[in-house]
Amino acid sequence: MRIALLGLQGAGKTTVFNAIAETPVEAPAGVLQTETHVQVVKVHDPRLEACREIFTPKKYTPAGLEVWDPPGLPPGTTEGDRERRGRLLSKLRDADAYVLVVRDFRSDLYPYERAAADAKADLARLVDEMVTSDFIIAEKRAEKLRDSVAKRTKTAAEDKLELSVLERCLAYFEEGKDLADLEIDELTEKRIRSFQFFTLKPMLVLFNGADEAPADFADGTAITMQAVTSMDAQIDAELNAMDAEDRPAFMEEFGIESTAADRFVRDVYGAVGLRSFFTVGEDEVRAWTIQAGDSAVTAAGKIHTDLARGFVRAEVFPHEDLLEAGDMRELKARNGIRLEPKDYVVQDGDVVHIRSAV
Ligand SMILES: Nc1nc2c(ncn2[C@@H]2O[C@H](COP(=O)(O)OP(=O)(O)O)[C@@H](O)[C@H]2O)c(=O)[nH]1
Ligand SMILES: [Mg+2]
């Protein structure tokens, strides 16, 4: 799972990144960022830890979210800024989900932006950039297809179908409607998947510097936001930079109950609809990330493409049953292991072992 932080310059993306990263990065305030920071944030999961106690495995591998902290979107209206925004957005297209970081604190750092906070205006701005960027992609492709259809090229018949889908998308963009509401069949879905439209991906909005996000945060925006959260990234980044033994007192003083990384992971899991399943044994106890509704064969493919190809059956049990039984032998004695076919929907917290013919 690749999660990109997306926001205007100075919204606090790098501060959020430093609040959740294992190794914070240097980011002097006011110096324009040019590189994208990338780090994997571990998913801390007490259920997996309980499984570790049973196997005391050689290797212990929690799930992880790959988080990207790119430069902010340059805000100007000049041609140069427009191009920089286009380049940046096209690089971020292949993330799986986005956390839109909006500034909800006063900042005098970037004089070309207003110093006062107006998080809702900044959010509307971000949404606008994403819709525009999607529109441009769709329009460019549609132009090519119109040309091909007019010239009756060899692919004209197929191109006509793709064009009709794109024209429906373009109409939605123009009317400011949410693409997620477009009714499409499976084949059409496949056709538009390759465009990697921002507007079809899960979005979590993060109000940075706010105690709480306003309830009407997404009123009037053209994209459905899956979820909203808030953080005081500056305090959380300070906390994350501290020695572990100093943290509890600080957390108590600021009324922080769990680390920013744990909260971030929980919010992203919720917004994207992520689930975890586990593989266990003496060699390794490990968690894997899937989407709600994913089948056993999809889960197998996360572990290895060969396992999906040669899939025969999945041995499955809820991790709670193992914890209750105490070990695998007792679980087997209780007939606690089920055999499931390819289309079994893997449940959060399932332990899965794939039987494969390859
Ligand atoms: N008051 C306050 N300042 C913040 C917060 N988050 C970030 N900042 C400050 O805002 C400035 C820009 O932050 P930065 O993370 O570099 O923004 P980026 O451009 O989005 O990566 C820095 O001076 C931060 O210290 C916050 O939650 N509260
Ligand atoms: Mg930054």
Return left, alpha or beta for 152; rule: phi > 0 is left, psi -120 to 50 is alpha, else beta. left
Q: Does a structural domain hold residue 298? A: yes
Q: Any idea which residue has 């009037």 for tokens?
A: 220
Q: 222 near 131, Cβ under 8 Å?
A: yes
pLDDT tens column, 12-66: 999 999 999 999 998 777 788 999 999 999 999 999 999 999 999 999 999 999 9
Other C-beta atoms within 10 Å of 337: how many?
Answer: 15
pLDDT at 180: 84
Distance from residue 18's CA to the centre of ligand 1 (Å)? 10
Compute CA distances 192 → 40, 136, 149, 185, 273, whole Å.
29, 14, 18, 11, 21
pLDDT tens column, 155-175: 899 899 889 999 999 998 888
pLDDT tens column, 237-290: 999 999 989 999 999 998 899 999 999 999 999 999 999 999 999 999 999 999
Distance from residue 278's CA to the centre of ligand 2 (Å)? 34
Q: Does a structural domain hold residue 184? A: no
CATH of the domain at 337: 3.10.20.30
Distance, in Å, from the CA atom of 206 to the CA atom of 271, rounded to the nearest integer, reads: 11
pLDDT tens column, 177-226: 888 888 888 888 888 888 999 999 999 999 999 888 887 877 777 777 87
Quote the domain boundaries for residue 317.
293-356
- Could you tell me if the CB of 36 is within 6 A of ligand 1? no
pLDDT tens column, 237-247: 999 999 989 99
Distance, in Å, from the CA atom of 164 to the CA atom of 145, rounded to the nearest integer, reads: 10
- Could you tell me if the CB of 234 is within 6 A of ligand 1? yes
pLDDT at 146: 95
pLDDT tens column, 171-180: 988 888 888 8
Q: Does a structural domain hold residue 304? A: yes
Q: Does a structural domain hold residue 308? A: yes
Q: Does a structural domain hold residue 188? A: no
State the chain's mean pLDDT as an integer: 92
pLDDT at 178: 86
Distance, in Å, from the CA atom of 290 to the CA atom of 350, rounded to the nearest integer, reads: 11
Q: Does a structural domain hold residue 163? A: no
Determine the residue of 5, 15, 26 to mutate for testing ligand 1's pocket, defined as the one with the most ligand atoms within 8 A of the Cβ atom: 15
- Could you tell me if the CB of 109 is within 6 A of ligand 1? yes
Q: Does a structural domain hold residue 317? A: yes
Q: Does a structural domain hold residue 259? A: no
Distance from residue 12's CA to the centre of ligand 1 (Å)? 4
Number of domains in the chain: 1
